[in-house]
């Protein structure tokens, strides 16, 4: 598991030079990258969502593109378009910004549902289809989407099918006063993102992604994951619970977390620490609970408190 731990620590330490005081959120983003999953960063403007994506891309030496979503964007603005070349008398494919390894989908909820849907095939199948021709996306492929939960005017809420394709949802939050002072000092002369260096090769990252899949998980922990996800479907305050994709997300991120700290087996604590980030955005709270201001995060924490944790001898049996 050394490869995963080495890759994770290098990326986290590197990005922490830019995003100050958010080590846990940077770790979650790195876990998403190690799991080959997509990440939704939901927070107010100005807390570093875009910088986090740029720093991550620079750290791993991947190709990076940014899509600034607006209501007038078309699906072809994302995927690319076939253009007729009058010299060769043939259609040529002009790739869109989705044809990069790390794609920042900035303010994704400002795009119309039709344009949002252009991302679905890319996120799930790692390919896009334009004019009947399929184009494979180069691994590692990661969509980092941002949205502002405060502004509702001129936005289109992400449909459940799209939310479900995000492995994790992360909130950065405001820095504390000491962290904000450190941020002011670090950006006095130049932004630290301009000095950030590549610390991991794409080959090392792909090897780490493969190693994550080999982390051992006992049948008891797999059952625990399924019990947590099943409990979201039966909770009285939930209109729609987490899908089986939520179970897979919780399993894979728990494997990545274990490997990133040098373990080759998963503990129940790994699952518990990732349940809110992997499951809350997949839950639709019922209308009556919404009136009472019950959040999906609160529901997941209630479920964690209610579902029995497997025995403490999980790792010993391995």
For the chain, the structural domain boundaries read 1-214, 215-309
228 is written with which tokens?
């947590």
Establish whether domains 1-214 and 215-309 are of one fold.
no
Rounded-to-integer distance, Cα 139 and Cα 205, Å: 10
Q: Which CATH number fits domain 215-309: 3.40.50.460, 1.25.40.10, 1.10.8.80, 3.40.50.150?
A: 1.10.8.80
Measuring CA to CA, how many Å separate 222 from each of 19, 55, 247?
34, 34, 9
For residue 313, the model assigns a pLDDT of 45
- Name the one residue in this structure whose structure tokens are 């990326």: 11
Q: What is the pTM of this model?
A: 0.85
Rounded-to-integer distance, Cα 149 and Cα 301, Å: 21
Contacts (Cβ under 8 Å, ≥6 apart) of 312: none
CATH number, span 1-214: 3.40.50.300
Rounded-to-integer distance, Cα 188 and Cα 219, Å: 53
Contacts (Cβ under 8 Å, ≥6 apart) of 124: 165
Angle at 285 between CA 281 and CA 289, to 5 degrees: 145
**Contact in structure between 30 and 260 (CB atoms under 8 Å):** yes
Residues lower than pLDDT 50 in the chain = 1, 312-318
Instruction: List pLDDT tens digits, range 241-272.
Output: 899 999 999 999 999 999 999 998 999 999 99
């Amino acid at each position: 598991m050394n490869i995963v731990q080495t890759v994770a620590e290098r990326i986290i330490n590197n990005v922490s030079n830019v995003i100050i005081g958010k080590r846990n959120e940077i770790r979650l983003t790195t876990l998403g990258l190690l799991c080959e999953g997509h990440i939704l960063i939901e927070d107010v403007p100005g807390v570093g969502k875009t910088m986090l994506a740029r720093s991550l891309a620079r750290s791993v030496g991947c190709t990076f593109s940014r899509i600034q979503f607006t209501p007038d964007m078309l699906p072809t603005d994302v995927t690319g378009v076939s253009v007729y070349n009058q010299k060769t008398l043939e259609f040529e494919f002009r790739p869109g910004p989705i044809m990069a390894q790390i794609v920042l989908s900035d303010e994704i909820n400002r795009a119309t549902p039709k344009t949002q849907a252009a991302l679905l095939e890319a996120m799930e199948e790692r390919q896009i289809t334009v004019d009947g021709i399929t184009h494979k996306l180069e691994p590692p492929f990661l969509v980092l989407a941002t949205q502002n939960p405060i502004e509702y005017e001129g936005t289109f809420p992400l449909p459940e099918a799209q939310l479900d394709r995000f492995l994790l949802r992360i909130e950065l939050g405001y820095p504390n006063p000491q962290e904000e002072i450190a941020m002011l000092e670090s950006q006095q002369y130049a932004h630290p993102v301009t000095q950030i260096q590549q610390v991991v090769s794409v080959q090392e990252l792909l090897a780490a992604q493969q190693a994550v899949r080999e982390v051992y998980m006992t049948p008891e922990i797999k059952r625990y994951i399924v019990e947590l996800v099943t409990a979201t479907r039966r909770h009285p305050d939930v209109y729609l619970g987490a899908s089986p994709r939520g179970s897979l997300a919780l399993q894979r991120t728990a494997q990545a977390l274990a490997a990133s700290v040098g373990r080759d087996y998963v503990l129940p604590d790994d699952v518990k620490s990732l349940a809110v980030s992997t499951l809350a955005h997949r839950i639709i709270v019922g209308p009556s609970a919404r009136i009472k201001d019950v959040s999906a995060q609160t529901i997941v924490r209630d479920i964690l408190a209610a579902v029995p944790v497997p025995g403490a001898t999980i790792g010993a049996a391995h």
